[in-house]
């Protein structure tokens, strides 16, 4: 199949089939209810399948139906090479979105009557829509273009359309049509097409009925053309049509047996005359006239347009471009050439400048304020910022509205019609003018309802007034922190520090407080590098000159940052120093927060007894705690209940009640509760759907507050993804983890990237999974218990990539540390991965028996010396029995004395735990041993069951298939 939209659709279906684990054609036929022959044709035939077939297949394989529809629509649009046969001069390309509009225009061209108006602002895609519709019909579409000329040329677009017919086949079609018309038609039409003139004609001035005769001739010709073959007319840019063309269109629009007419009309052109606007208003109310009003594209549709333009997935590009283009396809196409460039493309600059045109002084004063403000403005605020009297401002707004420079849907407020107008206004400001406007805006907006401190600070900065900016920045940072916008808060405090260093210092805040708040923001945002630099500066403060409370807050912040950098012992020491300073003082919010943070530190260090004691101490200070940290304390109580209860479901219900308590709302605390709950569910037999149910509400709130990339937000999505992977549902797992892994790994999102790497492994993209997993590892600063839990997934990727020796190296130290500490009981998955890695190294190197036995003995000794049994089959983790059996089976393989029955026993336990991929792995190992022992029937049975369980795990499915092939050839 040649490159093109159809090839892209088939490639996407093949990739989806691959990621779904290569289900057979008959399996897909059973799931979809269509024949396996139809399935085969959809995946391999050069004939485009129907949308119904594609939709069923994509749903059956767990794919993205909306994306598949975009690909199918692109594939179903014929190539631009068919344009010449339809009278269009430029090639039409597939368009994004516009599904309903495309259907309406296509149906009108193919079987409609009368006039269909396609309206919208410049760049909305009117012509592209009509062109795309024309290429998907068997109708000849003659195009007539209306031009914006210095003087009118009567019936120019009509002549243009008729000439397209005349040039189509050497004039045979028109000759046949003329033969069916009255004799005067050819003579009359010669005024439009001199090519038809076969003798002298009466001058128009000598014929008082010439225009009527010409109209009648055009109508007669159009009817005759329709009688010969399917025919339609496309009048481009009708808003520039001459009066004669509009009169003719009014005359013919209700005529019987006439060709359908589609006309495009620009709705925001300031040069359109009042007479044309009146004609459009009358036409909309005329029988036989319909209209399609085009709206801007959504962000998803813009992504589809960019995919068509670039040939590559463009979701990230659309996220950058759509806020500037506002969904206008022309603007999107122009911005795609330089999406991150400071300067706009020259063609787009010219277009925007023409839209603004020349404004009088009063109107310019309004436009420059709206451009500098970059927002909707209330009438009073706009009047104060412009300094204009009410009458003058009203007059200016009327003018701007007539020129379509204002948004029409803002009520009493005023706003420029498009974000790119802001840039056009900025280009017109002369030196010094911008500073004046921004200073006036900052003064006017200060204290105004709905205006945030950050906006005022930005205007002071643009005005070149750092002395005024610094205090506004402090206010802006505090506001950002209050709404959990931690990255914004951090950046704002950093700006305050930069201004501080330039000598601009606010009156109501000290340097130590700025640094403490900035470090706290860096910790919350997961920006370890920024936190390190801030902590270094805070460490240079003369702490002995601060009061005890201030000194304690600095030490607390330094301790939090020290922990983020992986130094738990150093963090504990700094927090202990802070505690000694605050303890003698009256109870305070600072003391409560210190104890609450220290509780979390002790938990991460694996010292739960001390953590619980600290939690009890915090309970005594609830009355003085800030509301936000009371809520987070409640999240820690939920953790304690979940860890100590014998009835997890009851504890979960208690957690749900905690989530519903809105007395002290805090989306971060809600995420912490959801993370704790879903973490417990991972250790039970609860289905992934249960984790989804508990995660949806907190994640929806997190999205509202832009907290999806916060540490607890990432943990919640990671846990749900994890649950789906345990159930063998790779495509569902991708859906949960993909939204937070669209950019590279950070300290907060590194865990999520490991989970995405696990997904990519199962999809068969092993090199990509390996790269992602290793890149995520480089961003981890704290190898705490959460990271240790993720390591088995990283080890699995290394092993399937054939890096068993590397796996042994990076697991050895971690396993030893885990077994020596209080978290030894949770080290079971790491031990199993380590045993598998050593067994594969031994098999790869054909190691002697002595080395095998000594390695196995070392591993057993590690377990024997652990502070708690990591392979206790009676542990509350539902997978513990299966894990213990797998450990023994891997050790037997390591020792060279493996038996198939050991793997089968482990597989049966994994079945009970509901972990199909683990079951498949064990049965595959059992099948290999059975085959080696000459038991082909048993090997085949085990391998077939393994392949069934390995659905959505491409490498494992491939390995089991290879084993089955060996059985069949034995």
Of the chain, the percentage scoring pLDDT greater than 70 comes to 92
Report whether 668 contacts 712 (CB < 8 A): yes
Question: What are the Cα distances from residue 405, in Å, to 181, 397, 399, 692?
Answer: 49, 9, 9, 46
CATH topology identical between 5-76 and 82-293 = no
Tell me the sheet residues that pair with 293: 119
What pLDDT, on the 0 to 100 scale, is given for residue 96?
Answer: 83
Q: What is the mean pLDDT of residues 90-111?
A: 79
What pLDDT, on the 0 to 100 scale, is given for residue 969?
Answer: 81
Whether residue 911 is predicted with pLDDT greater than 90 in this model: the reply is: yes
Nearest alpha-carbon partner for 469 in 451, 490, 443, 444: 443
The number of residues making up the chain comes to 970
What pLDDT, on the 0 to 100 scale, is given for residue 658?
Answer: 62
Mean residue pLDDT across the chain: 86
Concatenating the DSSP letter of every residue in 535-556 gives: HHHHHTS-GGGS-HHHHHHHHH
Cα torsion at 634, 635, 641, 644 (round to 10°)? -130
Strand blocks (E) in 418-488 = none
Of 422-431, 633-642, 789-798, the poorest mean pLDDT is in 633-642
Whether residue 204 is predicted with pLDDT greater than 50 in this model: the reply is: no
Q: When comparing pLDDT for 727 and 866, which is higher?
A: 727
What pLDDT, on the 0 to 100 scale, is given for residue 561?
Answer: 93
Condensed to tens digits (0 to 9), the pLDDT of residues 152-179 reads 888 999 999 999 999 888 889 999 999 9
What pLDDT, on the 0 to 100 scale, is given for residue 392?
Answer: 94
In whole angstroms, give the CA distance from residue 441 to residue 284. Answer: 43
In whole angstroms, give the CA distance from residue 233 to residue 281. Answer: 21
What pLDDT, on the 0 to 100 scale, is given for residue 663?
Answer: 61
Tell me the sheet residues that pair with 261: 115, 233
DSSP state for residue 84 in the 8-state scheme: G
Q: What is the mean pLDDT of residues 820-828?
A: 77
Locate 663 and state its tokens: 């007395």
What pLDDT, on the 0 to 100 scale, is given for residue 654?
Answer: 72
Condensed to tens digits (0 to 9), the pLDDT of residues 80-95 reads 333 333 333 334 457 8
Locate 394 and state its tokens: 């009203």
What pLDDT, on the 0 to 100 scale, is given for residue 661?
Answer: 59
Condensed to tens digits (0 to 9), the pLDDT of residues 687-714 reads 999 999 989 989 998 888 888 888 899 9
Q: What is the mean pLDDT of residues 633-651?
A: 71
Please tell me the CATH code under which domain 82-293 is placed.
3.40.50
Report whether 532 contacts 747 (CB < 8 A): no
What pLDDT, on the 0 to 100 scale, is given for residue 377?
Answer: 93
Q: What is the mean pLDDT of residues 216-240?
A: 92
What pLDDT, on the 0 to 100 scale, is given for residue 77?
Answer: 58
Q: Quick one: which H or E segment has residue 292?
A: strand 289-293
Condensed to tens digits (0 to 9), the pLDDT of residues 340-368 reads 666 777 777 887 887 787 888 999 999 99
CATH class of segment(s) 342-451: mainly alpha
Any idea what the Cα angle at residue 107 is, between residues 104 and 113, rounded to 5°?
105
Concatenating the DSSP letter of every residue in 582-633 gives: HTTSPP-HHHHHHHHHHHHHHHHTT-HHHHHHHHHHHHTTGGGS-HHHHHHH
Whether residue 579 is predicted with pLDDT greater than 80 in this model: the reply is: yes
Concatenating the DSSP letter of every residue in 143-211 gives: EEE----SS--TTHHHHHHHHHHHHHSTTHHHHHHHHTS-THHHHHHTTT-GGG--S----GGG-TTHH
Question: Please, which pLDDT band fits residue 553 given cuts at 50, 70 and 90?
Answer: very high
In whole angstroms, give the CA distance from residue 571 to residue 745. Answer: 25
What pLDDT, on the 0 to 100 scale, is given for residue 771?
Answer: 93
Cα torsion at 698, 700, 706, 712 (round to 10°)? 30
In whole angstroms, give the CA distance from residue 731 to residue 737. Answer: 10
Q: When comparing pLDDT for 874 and 105, which is higher?
A: 105
In whole angstroms, give the CA distance from residue 870 to residue 863. Answer: 7
Total-model pTM: 0.71
Whether residue 679 is predicted with pLDDT greater than 90 in this model: the reply is: no
What pLDDT, on the 0 to 100 scale, is given for residue 88?
Answer: 38
Q: What is the mean pLDDT of residues 824-853?
A: 91
Domain segments of the chain: what residues? 5-76, 82-293, 299-335, 342-451, 802-898, 900-970
- For the domain with range 5-76, which CATH number is right: 1.20.1250, 1.10.260, 1.25.40, 1.10.3470? 1.10.260
Strands lying side by side in the sheet with 140-145: 140-145, 231-236, 261-266, 115-120, 289-293
Condensed to tens digits (0 to 9), the pLDDT of residues 588-627 reads 999 999 998 888 888 777 787 888 888 888 888 888 888 7
Q: What is the mean pLDDT of residues 621-637?
A: 79
Of the chain, the percentage scoring pLDDT greater than 90 comes to 46
In whole angstroms, give the CA distance from residue 35 to residue 27. Answer: 10
Locate 709 and state its tokens: 């990339």
Q: Highest mean pLDDT range out of 126-140, 407-421, 719-733?
A: 719-733
Q: What is the mean pLDDT of residues 784-789?
A: 66
Of 274-288, 449-463, 464-478, 879-893, the poorest mean pLDDT is in 274-288
In whole angstroms, give the CA distance from residue 163 to residue 192. Answer: 9
Whether residue 918 is predicted with pLDDT greater than 70 in this model: the reply is: yes
What pLDDT, on the 0 to 100 scale, is given for residue 1?
Answer: 60
What pLDDT, on the 0 to 100 scale, is given for residue 253?
Answer: 78
Whether residue 577 is predicted with pLDDT greater than 80 in this model: the reply is: yes
In whole angstroms, give the CA distance from residue 365 to residue 371. Answer: 10
Report whether 821 contacts 793 (CB < 8 A): no
Condensed to tens digits (0 to 9), the pLDDT of residues 60-79 reads 888 888 778 777 877 765 44
């Amino acid at each position: 199949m040649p490159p093109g939209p159809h090839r892209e659709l088939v490639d996407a279906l093949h990739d989806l089939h691959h990621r779904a684990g290569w289900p057979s054609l008959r399996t897909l036929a059973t799931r979809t209810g269509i024949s396996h022959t139809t399935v085969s044709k959809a995946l391999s035939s050069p004939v485009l399948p129907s949308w119904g077939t594609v939709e069923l297949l994509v749903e059956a394989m767990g794919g993205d139906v909306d994306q598949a529809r975009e690909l199918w629509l692109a594939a179903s649009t014929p190539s631009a090479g068919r344009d010449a046969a339809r009278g269009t001069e430029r090639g039409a390309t597939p368009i994004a979105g516009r599904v309903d509009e495309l259907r309406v225009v296509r149906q009108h061209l193919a079987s409609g009557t009368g006039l269909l108006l396609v309206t919208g602002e410049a760049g909305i895609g009117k012509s592209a829509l009509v062109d795309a519709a024309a290429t998907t019909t068997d109708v000849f579409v003659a195009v007539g273009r209306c031009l914006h000329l210095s003087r009118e040329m009567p019936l120019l677009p009509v002549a243009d359309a008729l000439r397209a017919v005349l040039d189509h086949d050497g004039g045979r079609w028109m000759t046949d049509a003329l033969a069916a018309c009255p004799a005067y038609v050819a003579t009359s039409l010669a005024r439009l097409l001199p090519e038809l003139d076969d003798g002298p004609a009466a001058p128009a001035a000598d014929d008082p009925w010439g225009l009527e005769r010409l109209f009648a001739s055009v109508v007669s010709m159009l009817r005759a053309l329709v009688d010969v073959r399917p025919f339609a007319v496309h009048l481009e840019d009708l808003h520039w049509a001459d009066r004669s063309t509009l009169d003719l269109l009014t005359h013919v629009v209700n005529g019987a047996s006439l060709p359908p007419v589609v006309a495009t009309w620009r709705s925001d052109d300031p040069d359109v005359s009042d007479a044309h606007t009146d004609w459009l208003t009358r036409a909309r109310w005329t029988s036989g006239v319909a209209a399609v009003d085009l709206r801007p594209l959504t962000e998803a549709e813009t992504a589809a347009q960019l995919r068509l333009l670039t040939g590559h997935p463009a979701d990230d590009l659309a996220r950058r471009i759509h806020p500037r283009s506002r969904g206008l396809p022309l603007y999107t196409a122009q911005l795609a050439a330089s999406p991150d460039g400071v300067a706009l493309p020259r063609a787009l600059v010219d277009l925007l400048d023409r839209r603004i045109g020349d404004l009088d002084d009063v109107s310019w004063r309004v436009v420059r304020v709206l451009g500098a403000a970059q927002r909707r403005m209330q009438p009073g605020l706009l009047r104060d910022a412009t300094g204009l009297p009410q009458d003058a401002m009203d007059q200016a707004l009327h003018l701007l509205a007539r020129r379509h420079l204002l948004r029409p849907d803002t009520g009493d407020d005023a706003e420029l019609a498009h974000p790119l107008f802001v840039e056009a206004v900025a280009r017109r400001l002369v030196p010094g003018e911008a500073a004046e406007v921004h200073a006036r805006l900052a003064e006017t907006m200060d204290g105004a309802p709905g205006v945030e401190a950050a906006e005022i600070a930005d205007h002071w900065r643009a005005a070149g007034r750092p002395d005024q900016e610094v205090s506004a920045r402090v206010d802006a940072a505090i506001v950002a922190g209050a709404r959990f916008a931690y990255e914004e808060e951090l950046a704002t405090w950093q700006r305050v520090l930069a201004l501080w260093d330039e000598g601009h210092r606010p009156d109501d805040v000290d340097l130590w407080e700025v640094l403490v708040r900035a470090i706290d923001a860096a910790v919350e945002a997961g920006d370890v590098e920024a936190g390190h630099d801030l902590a270094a500066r805070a460490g240079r403060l003369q702490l002995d000159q601060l009061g005890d409370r201030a000194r304690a807050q600095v030490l607390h912040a330094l301790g939090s940052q020290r922990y983020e950098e992986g130094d738990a012992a150093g963090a504990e020491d700094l927090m202990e120093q802070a505690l000694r300073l605050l303890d003698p003082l009256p109870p305070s919010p600072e003391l409560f927060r210190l104890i609450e943070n220290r509780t979390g530190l002790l938990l991460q260090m694996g010292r739960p007894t001390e953590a619980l004691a600290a939690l009890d101490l915090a309970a005594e200070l609830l009355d003085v705690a800030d509301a936000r940290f009371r809520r987070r304390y409640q999240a820690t109580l939920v953790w304690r209940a979940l860890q100590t209860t014998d009835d997890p479901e009851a504890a979960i219900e208690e957690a749900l009640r905690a989530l519903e308590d809105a007395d002290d709302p805090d989306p971060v605390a809600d995420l912490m509760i959801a993370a704790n709950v879903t973490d417990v569910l991972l250790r039970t037999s609860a289905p992934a759907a249960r984790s989804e149910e508990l995660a949806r509400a907190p994640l929806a709130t997190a999205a509202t507050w832009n907290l999806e990339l916060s540490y607890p937000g990432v943990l919640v999505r990671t846990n749900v993804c994890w649950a789906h992977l345990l159930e063998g549902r790779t495509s569902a797992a991708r859906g949960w983890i993909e939204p937070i892994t669209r950019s590279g790994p950070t300290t907060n999102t590194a865990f999520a990237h490991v989970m995405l790497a696990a997904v990519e492994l199962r999809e068969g993209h092993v090199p990509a999974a390996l790269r992602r997993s290793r890149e995520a590892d480089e961003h981890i600063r704290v190898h705490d218990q959460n990271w240790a839990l993720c390591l088995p997934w990283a080890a699995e990727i290394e092993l399937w990539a054939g890096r068993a020796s590397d796996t042994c190296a990076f697991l050895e130290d971690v396993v030893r540390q885990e077994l020596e500490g209080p978290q030894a009981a949770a080290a079971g998955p790491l031990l199993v991965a380590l045993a598998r890695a050593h067994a594969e190294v031994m098999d790869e190197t054909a190691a002697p028996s002595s080395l095998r036995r000594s390695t196995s003995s070392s591993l057993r000794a590690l377990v024997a010396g652990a502070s708690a049994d990591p392979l206790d089959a009676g542990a509350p983790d539902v997978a513990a029995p299966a894990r213990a059996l797998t450990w023994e089976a891997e050790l037997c393989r390591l020792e060279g004395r493996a038996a198939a029955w050991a793997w089968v026993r482990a597989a049966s336990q994994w079945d009970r735990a509901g972990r199909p991929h683990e079951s498949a792995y064990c049965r595959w190992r059992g099948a290999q041993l059975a085959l080696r022992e000459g038991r082909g029937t048993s090997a085949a049975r085990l391998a077939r069951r393994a392949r069934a369980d390995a659905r959505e795990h491409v490498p494992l499915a491939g390995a089991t298939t290879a084993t089955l092939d060996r059985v069949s050839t034995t």
